[in-house]
C-alpha cells in the first residue's frame, strides 16, 4: 500500500509543539512545495485595537512552511534549519480569517535551499505577506 506523503507530513508536524500550539495544518506538500493553514485565534492577536494577528505568528507560519517545502524537495535527503528569513508585510490580515502560506523551494545546492513564500487570508488574490528564506541542506558532505 502506498503511504500518503501528505498524511506523513501531517503526522510529522503534529509532533512539533509550536506547530500544534498554532494549530498549523498541512494541506499540500510535494516536490518542494508546501501549503500550511493557520486558523484565526484571538490568542495570537498583536494589535488589541484591531484584532489583527501578530507578525510573529506569521513568521512562525512562514518559517514552518519554508522548512516543510525544503524537506519535501527531492534533492534534500534530510532535515533542515533556517539560515535566514525575510518577511514583507503587505497588509493587515483580516481579523477572523485563517492565514494560508504557500512556500516553494525553487533552488537547492549541496548546502543551501532557497525558498519563496506568500501568505493570504480569504482573499487569495491579495496576499498579506511575502517571504524569502534560506535553509540548510542536511546530510550534505
Partner 1 sequence: MNRRPPEPVQVVKQRRDAALTALAGRVPYIRFLNISFDRRGDELTGVLNYDDKLIGNPELPALHGGVTAAFLEVTAIITLSWGLLWEDVESGVLTLDALEAGELPRLPKTIDFTVDYLRSGLPRDAYARAHVTRSGRRYASVRAEAWQDNHDRPIAQAHAHFLMPRKEG
Kindly report the number of other CB atoms within 10 A of residue 22's CB atom. 20
In the set 28, 40, 82, 94, which binds partner 1 (CB under 8 A)? 82
In the set 5, 21, 96, 111, which binds partner 1 (CB under 8 A)? 21
Only one of the segments 1-9, 83-91, 103-111, 117-125 lies at the binding site for partner 1 (rule: CB under 8 A); that segment is 83-91
Would you count residue 8 as binding partner 1 (CB under 8 A)?
Answer: no
Would you count residue 64 as binding partner 1 (CB under 8 A)?
Answer: yes
Would you count residue 96 as binding partner 1 (CB under 8 A)?
Answer: no
d(CA 32, CA 71): 7
Q: What is the DSSP string of 56-120?
A: HHHHHHHHHHHHHHHHTSTT--S---EEEEEEEE-SPPPTTS-EEEEEEEEEE-SSEEEEEEEEE
Interface map 24-43 toward partner 1 (x if CB under 8 A):
------------------xx
Question: Quick one: cell of 114?
Answer: 532557497
Q: Which residues bind partner 1 (CB under 8 A)?
A: 15-21, 42-49, 53-57, 59-64, 67, 79, 81-89, 92
Amino acid at each position: 500500500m502506498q503511504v500518503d506523503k501528505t498524511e506523513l507530513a501531517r503526522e510529522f508536524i503534529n509532533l512539533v509543539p509550536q506547530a500544534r500550539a498554532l494549530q498549523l495544518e498541512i494541506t499540500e506538500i510535494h516536490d518542494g512545495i508546501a501549503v500550511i493553514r493557520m486558523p484565526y485565534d484571538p490568542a495570537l492577536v498583536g494589535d488589541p485595537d484591531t484584532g489583527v494577528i501578530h507578525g510573529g505568528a506569521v513568521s512562525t507560519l512562514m518559517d514552518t512552511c519554508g522548512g516543510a517545502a525544503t524537506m519535501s524537495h527531492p534533492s534534500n535527503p534530510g532535515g533542515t534549519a533556517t539560515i535566514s528569513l525575510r518577511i514583507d508585510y503587505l497588509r493587515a490580515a483580516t481579523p477572523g480569517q485563517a492565514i494560508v502560506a504557500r512556500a516553494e523551494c525553487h533552488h537547492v545546492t549541496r548546502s543551501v535551499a532557497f525558498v519563496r513564500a506568500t501568505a493570504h487570508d480569504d482573499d487569495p488574490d491579495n496576499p498579506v505577506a511575502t517571504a524569502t528564506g534560506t535553509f540548510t541542506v542536511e546530510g550534505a558532505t
